[in-house]
């Protein structure tokens, strides 16, 4: 048989496989913190897809973790995942709920909201303060039966007023005499938040399975909701709804979660750009690559239904003027590369980009006039 030469000497084919994009963070998973000994403090937390899995692991039917998870998974559509965390009560002094939450965050950052039925009013401000700057971003959910929340000006101040006065945007509270009511509300949020097309939602007017309504006067409702605390109420003997769906500072829950999702998409889209390319040149072509990555992240928010077309109502900013249409729901601007300082260029920085967004919002009430012609 005659000898043959390797064809690579003539046609050299090089196969390059691009690195995969980083998985996006999840914003539809709740951590329920308890002190049952099923999970040891070295492991710290576990992920479950059902209450049945928790029972198989040894959690008791009447344990706080199972009762809260049962409320959480009872919603329709049901959330897919819950995390159960462990607080260490065996040490002296016992671990605080805040310390346990911080340890759970270090152990795994896959969860977004956190809840503990063991929390009492004196614990809440410190946890709420931590949640404001926790990384990755998180939401603290709490349930309160404190009758002071029903009072217009109690002394000492109730927890809802305390968090409102502190303008905390990452804490969501519910006044309810039903145990784990807010865990059910988070189940609603996480079941709805699939991240798919048209998945944007509002917490207002949602039914929470397993939760009963509060028997309140209209004045009591006004007092509680005036403190940016949520309720589960009955209307016309038929509709049972969660309302108004706000954080302690008055922002709506859906605004917070969608903003977190957008920031995460922007960060990872730009990081993927750096990770998957040999280099991003400090040229207009390179800045266009960054611009396109930002467009990709913003378009995901449009697809979810978070951003929508509207009119810019802010002060003039670069080329964006008050009254300008925002056809796409967002406007991305940057300074010319020619205006970049030599110092920033030496540090290999991109020119700053500015993303202005228009939230699609949601309708929570209507005024309808009926004109009768006789």
Give backbone dihedrals phi and psi of 70, rounded to 5 degrees, phi first. -65, -45
Per-residue pLDDT band for 6 (boundaries 50, 70, 90) equals confident
**Which residues, in sequence order, are CB contacts of 110 under 8 Å at separation 6+?**
26, 29, 47, 83
Look-up of token digits 């016309």: 236
The Cβ of residue 63 has, within 10 Å, a number of other Cβ atoms equal to 18
Give 91-141 pLDDT, tens digit per residue.
Answer: 999 999 999 999 999 999 999 999 999 999 999 999 999 999 999 999 999
Asked whether the beta carbons of 150 and 223 are under 8 A apart, the reply is yes
0.85 exceeded by the pTM? Answer: yes
Give 214-224 pLDDT, tens digit per residue.
Answer: 999 999 999 99
Can you read off the two tokens belonging to residue 95? 């671990």
CA–CA distance, 170 with 128 (Å, rounded to integer)? 7
Closest CA to 201 of 341, 319, 106, 305: 305
The Cβ of residue 230 has, within 10 Å, a number of other Cβ atoms equal to 27
Give 279-315 pLDDT, tens digit per residue.
Answer: 999 999 999 999 999 999 999 999 999 999 999 999 9
Give 152-204 pLDDT, tens digit per residue.
Answer: 999 889 999 999 999 999 999 999 999 999 999 999 999 999 999 999 999 99
């Amino acid at each position: 048989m005659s000898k043959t030469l390797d064809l690579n000497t003539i046609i050299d084919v090089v196969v390059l496989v691009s690195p995969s994009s980083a998985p996006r963070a999840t914003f539809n998973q709740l951590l329920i913190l308890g002190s049952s000994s099923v999970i040891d403090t070295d492991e710290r937390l576990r992920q479950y897809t059902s209450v049945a899995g928790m029972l198989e692991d040894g959690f008791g039917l009447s344990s706080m973790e199972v009762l809260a998870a049962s409320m959480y998974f009872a919603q329709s559509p049901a959330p897919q995942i819950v995390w159960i965390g462990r607080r260490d009560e065996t040490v002296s002094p016992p671990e605080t709920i805040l310390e346990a939450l911080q340890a759970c965050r270090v152990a795994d950052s896959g969860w977004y909201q956190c809840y503990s039925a063991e929390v009492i009013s004196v614990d809440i401000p410190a946890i709420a303060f931590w949640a404001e700057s926790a990384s990755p971003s998180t939401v603290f959910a709490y349930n309160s039966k404190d009758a002071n929340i029903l009072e217009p000006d109690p002394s000492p101040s109730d927890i809802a007023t305390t968090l409102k006065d502190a303008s905390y945007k990452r804490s969501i509270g519910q006044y309810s005499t039903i145990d784990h009511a807010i865990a059910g509300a988070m189940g609603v949020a996480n079941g709805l938040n699939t991240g798919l097309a048209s998945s944007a939602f509002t917490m207002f007017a949602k039914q929470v399975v397993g939760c009963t309504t509060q028997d309140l006067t209209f004045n009591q409702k006004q007092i509680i909701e005036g403190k940016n605390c949520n309720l589960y109420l009955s209307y016309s003997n038929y509709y049972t709804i969660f309302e108004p769906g706000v954080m302690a500072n008055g922002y709506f829950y859906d605004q917070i979660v969608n903003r977190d999702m957008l920031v995460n998409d922007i960060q990872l889209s730009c990081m993927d750009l750096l990770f998957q390319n040999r280099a991003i040149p400090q040229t207009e072509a390179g800045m266009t690559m960054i611009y396109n990555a930002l467009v990709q992240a913003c378009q995901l928010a449009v697809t979810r239904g978070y951003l929508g077309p509207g009119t810019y109502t802010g002060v003039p900013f670069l080329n964006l003027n008050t009254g300008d249409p925002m056809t796409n729901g967002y406007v991305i601007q940057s300074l010319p590369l020619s205006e970049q300082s030599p110092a920033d260029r030496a540090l290999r920085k991109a020119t700053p980009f500015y993303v202005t967004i228009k939230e699609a919002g949601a309708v929570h009430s209507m005024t309808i006039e009926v004109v009768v012609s006789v």
